[in-house]
Amino acid sequence: MFETFRNAWKIEDLRKRLMYTLLILVLFRVGCAITVPYINPAVLSTFFSGTEMLGYLNMMSGGALSQCAVFALGVSPYINASIIIQLLTVAIPALENLAKEGEEGRRKITRITHYTAMGIAFVMSIGYYFILRRMGALHYTSGWESWASAVVIILTFTAGSQLITWMGEQIDSKGIGNGVSLLIFAGIISNLFNGITGNIYTAVANGTTTAWLSVLVILLMLVVMTFAVTYVDLGERRIPLQISKQVKGRRVYGGQNTHMTLKVVSVGVLPLIFAYSLLAFPGTIGALVAPNSGFTAWCNAYLSSGSWVYMILSALLIVGFTFFYSSISFDPNKQAKQLMEQGATIPGQRGKNIRDYLARTTNRLNLFAALFLAVLAVIPTLLTSWVTNLPFAASSILIAVSVSLETMRTVEGELSIRGIETDKDNGFM
């Protein structure tokens, strides 16, 4: 990895793109430290520690949400809008036709996604403002300042979310890697660093064996989970293909052997995001609408991290969402049809058997991916029963590792285009 970036730094064009990416990430972290006016963020610490959904969003924003910073919403509105539009593209024929219109259609879908993200950010900003108001985190001296605080806070959060999306697009066009993913990565790494250093400071202050043992367990599990996620993320299933010879005029095409590559975990972190969001939704609504009701108490008891009901439901939802999202992103029937049109066959499989073979293979990979993600999600939950201030979750580790590997592949690709080869170790399963 260090050799790859050292080689990239020697090339002027790549050095400028790396520096531009780093500059955007620094500006993003600066925006996460600037608190909006009329705010007393210290009041919200108790609320964030007891509300799963807001704690999850705070992790994704790198702690900016709990500080009421300009970039408090992070890229969550854009991510949610992208997921919604992607799902609607499959369900709504008009959007499906736009997706098939090439570059112009993709630009229109991107524009629709941006407008949707703006609407989601505006709604989230309004909800967050009422949270601040309910918790007594606003300070103003007159009635007109009450209205001014609402306008300033809501518009600042909405504009900050749109600015972050723009910064991510600038990285896409002028930097290295996927901009939105790198911004999420920067927030997660910052939150992880602050969490680990906080646990170390606590251990130093207490000076007890239990406190230092907690720090050791956190570091050990972080290393183990990073290794496991990296190994599985690089895993792939290679299906051999035989392309038959085709004679066109005086030329003969095909006749070679190749392979189709399927990732072991093709769904990424989406099943975790969907499952966490769905489980956190009831408790969040209860905390906002009726914080002292029996429903909110039930949600805090059974739909919070550490509960056996929470672990079972999260595992089941992760398995279900894994198969659901995979069915949208990969269609064995469509893939088999494309292979037959190209004159490609799988050894030992013909006609309808190709579709059945691809369906069986993807189902096996999905089952492994679902079980892996479910176990990965349960481990941090189990640790929270012993280590109270766990600074990472399964989704954060998976996102951080995936973004790191993808950025590394991008840099290696840029070096390969310029004739500089790098040592790669892309293992497969």
Are 421 and 229 contacting, i.e. CB atoms less than 8 angstroms apart? no
Q: Which of 292-296, 356-360, 369-373 has the lowest mean pLDDT?
A: 292-296
pLDDT above 50 (res 246): yes
Helix ranges (H only) for 61-142 are 76-91, 93-99, 103-135
Task: Label residues 9-39 b or e (16+ Cβ within 10 Å = b).
Answer: eeeeebeebbebbeebbeebbebbeeebebb
- Under the banding of pLDDT at 50, 70 and 90, the label for residue 233 is confident
pLDDT at 163: 93
Mean per-residue pLDDT, 335-349: 76
Tell me which DSSP letter residue 291 carries.
T
Provide the token pair at 347: 């050894």
Alpha-carbon distance 209 to 260, whole Å?
52
CA distances, 73 to each of 99, 204, 287, 427 (Å): 28, 33, 19, 37
pLDDT per position as a tens digit, 262-320: 888 887 777 877 777 777 777 766 766 666 778 778 877 777 766 788 888 888 888 88
Alpha-carbon distance 380 to 168, whole Å?
29
Alpha-carbon distance 86 to 88, whole Å?
5
Provide the token pair at 380: 């941090």
pTM of structure: 0.76
CA distances, 60 to each of 77, 385, 387 (Å): 11, 22, 21
pLDDT at 143: 66
Mean per-residue pLDDT, 130-159: 81
Alpha-carbon distance 162 to 234, whole Å?
33
Q: Which of 49-53, 155-159, 330-334 has the lowest mean pLDDT?
A: 49-53
Residue 262 host element (H or E) = strand 257-263
Quote the percentage of the chain above a pLDDT of 70. 83
- Under the banding of pLDDT at 50, 70 and 90, the label for residue 427 is very low
- Comparing CA positions, the residue from 139, 124, 102 lying closest to residue 57 is 124
- Under the banding of pLDDT at 50, 70 and 90, the label for residue 249 is low
pLDDT above 60 (res 252): no
Alpha-carbon distance 22 to 133, whole Å?
36
Mean per-residue pLDDT, 404-429: 69
Provide the token pair at 97: 């036709």
pLDDT at 254: 54
- The neighbour count for residue 92, using CB atoms within 10 Å, is 12
CA distances, 26 to each of 161, 198, 246 (Å): 16, 22, 55
- Under the banding of pLDDT at 50, 70 and 90, the label for residue 166 is very high
Tell me which DSSP letter residue 138 carries.
B
The SS3 of residue 34 is: coil
Residue 213 host element (H or E) = helix 209-234
pLDDT at 429: 38
- Comparing CA positions, the residue from 310, 185, 259, 243 lying closest to residue 428 is 259
pLDDT above 90 (res 24): yes
> Average per-residue pLDDT in the chain?
79
The distance of Cα 30 from the centroid of its chain, to the nearest Å, equals 21
**Residue carrying the six token digits 């969040």:** 284
The SS3 of residue 10 is: coil
Alpha-carbon distance 133 to 153, whole Å?
11
Provide the token pair at 313: 């439901």
Are 79 and 277 contacting, i.e. CB atoms less than 8 angstroms apart? no
Are 181 and 406 contacting, i.e. CB atoms less than 8 angstroms apart? yes
